[in-house]
Amino acid sequence: MKPSTLPTTPLDALKISGALKVIVKTIHTSADIFKSWKYPSPTASADFETMSLMDKIYWGYKSKKPVLYPEPNTPPAEFIKRNNTSIKLPADFNEVKTVTFSAVGDLIKVNGLENSKDKFYEKISDLVFDAGISYANLESQLTSQDIGGYTFSDKETPPLCCTQEEYETLKGYNGKQYTLMHTACNHTFDMGIEGLETTLVQLAKDNIIDLGTNREPDEQQKAKIIEVKGIKFGFISATFGLNGKEIPKGKEYTVNVVKFHPLVNKKMIQSPDLSLLYYQIDDCKRQECDVIVASLHWGYEYEFFPRNHQVNLAHELVEMGVDVILSHHAHVLQPVEYFHPKYCPEKTAVIVYSLGNLSSSFSAPHIVLSGVINLTFAGGKWSGKDTTFIKEVKLTPVVQQDYLENNLPVITLERLDTLSDKKDKDEEEAKYIADLERYAEQVGWR
């Protein structure tokens, strides 16, 4: 197996003082011995601006040794589904038309993308770009400013902005490109308002619809609407925060922010205000959308299962009319849940808790494993009404690979099943692929 050109985990890129290194190593060793972080820490903050030093040490630990289990007393089988057997169209549904939809996770800057334009999507392009609608989370903004270094510290998060060349590789393949990109994330203001505006200008130039960000104040409470083959899709969107960076006064409307994660202390849990998303859902209904898709940047990084409060919020959004939830930020793959709302048990809502990193600046198996979800929507008549159902779901785990070509780093993507066929090459490669398979199986993607 060829050695990676990338650092293994964010912990390897962490810049801290010598004394703090000793503290971190001591606490991490203790966590290994006592298995204190086998399950998610119940008091850890998910938002950088509210993290204590211990929260940051916990974050560093799980970036290297991810949390593989859900919160206690939460059986994974409750929301892991290994196939789409639970999706059935009503017997009296008269199908008239179908639309296919693909979604991937985080698109993040990686050294080598600039050399990979004809290679990055080559082996999975059919999964992503042959769909009627294709979607991704653009984690790395564009900017005209100097991006600077890419290191982590206990004081601040690194800027994730990508170069124009990296963006050109990420946006599409062989003349095809994404229909929509989610642009509201905790790194949206890494370069201030200039970075956001530069990104939106580029997406508009490429005819890619942005989600979660707004050019005018009256856009914030509205959905983004597209119609394909007579089926109207409405997209609602938000991010949990901005890594503590303040939006300039008068520009608060530019990013949809919903504080999804409860503030936890010994006395109180503060529930999130979902009113912004409710306004957007109402806009979808006013415009008679057939399908409502929620694009959410939320969750706890390097944990393979969503927190219980996320599951509850996801169910609440489905009961409000959302048909699909696409999530990102955890930087690892998480389960897909098939949920039947009380208001219409014949419908199946699909909740994707995290799609992982489609591209990543690190090479550890849990970080380079991600997923492509392919949905088929069927529109037609049911009980005398025009109705759209999710007809089919396909989950495909994929893996980022990197290598040197003519002494230049190259980044590619490959189906996990294809890699599995190669695992008898050598002992090191067999272990690496076995880890990928174990993680995919842990969350029901294989």
Q: What is the pLDDT of residues 149-201, one digit of tens each?
A: 666 666 778 888 999 999 999 999 999 999 999 999 999 999 999 999 999 99
CB 429 within 8 A of CB 1: yes
As a whole-number percent, the residues of the chain with pLDDT over 70 amount to 93
Task: Give residue 109's pLDDT.
Answer: 95
Which amino acid, residue 110? V
CA 154 to centroid of chain Cα atoms = 24
Residue pLDDT, tens place only, 203-258: 999 999 999 999 999 999 999 999 999 999 999 999 999 999 999 999 999 999 99
* Residue 5 DSSP class: S
Task: Give residue 83's pLDDT.
Answer: 45
Residue pLDDT, tens place only, 12-52: 888 888 899 999 999 999 999 999 999 999 989 999 988 99
Give 381's pLDDT tier (boundaries 50, 70, 90): very high
Fold of 76-442: Purple Acid Phosphatase; chain A, domain 2 (3.60.21)
Number of CB atoms found within 10 A of residue 75's CB: 8
Task: Give residue 82's pLDDT.
Answer: 44
**In whole angstroms, what is the distance from residue 446 CA to residue 429 CA?**
19
Task: Give residue 17's pLDDT.
Answer: 87
**In whole angstroms, what is the distance from residue 149 CA to residue 153 CA?**
12
Residue pLDDT, tens place only, 90-139: 999 999 999 999 999 999 999 999 999 999 999 999 999 999 999 999 99
Cα separations (Å) of 184 from 190, 352, 391?
12, 18, 29
Give 269's pLDDT tier (boundaries 50, 70, 90): low
Give 398's pLDDT tier (boundaries 50, 70, 90): very high
CB 182 within 8 A of CB 213: no
Which range (1-5, 284-288, 383-387) has the least confidence?
A: 1-5
Secondary structure element (H or E) that encloses residue 350, with its range: strand 349-352
Which residues, including other chains, have CB under 8 Å from residue 445's CB and lie 6 or more apart? 333, 335, 336, 371, 395, 397
Which amino acid, residue 261? H
The DSSP bridge pattern shows strands 94-107 and 369-382 to be: antiparallel
Which residues, including other chains, have CB under 8 Å from residue 44's CB and lie 6 or more apart? 51, 54, 55, 58, 59, 264, 300
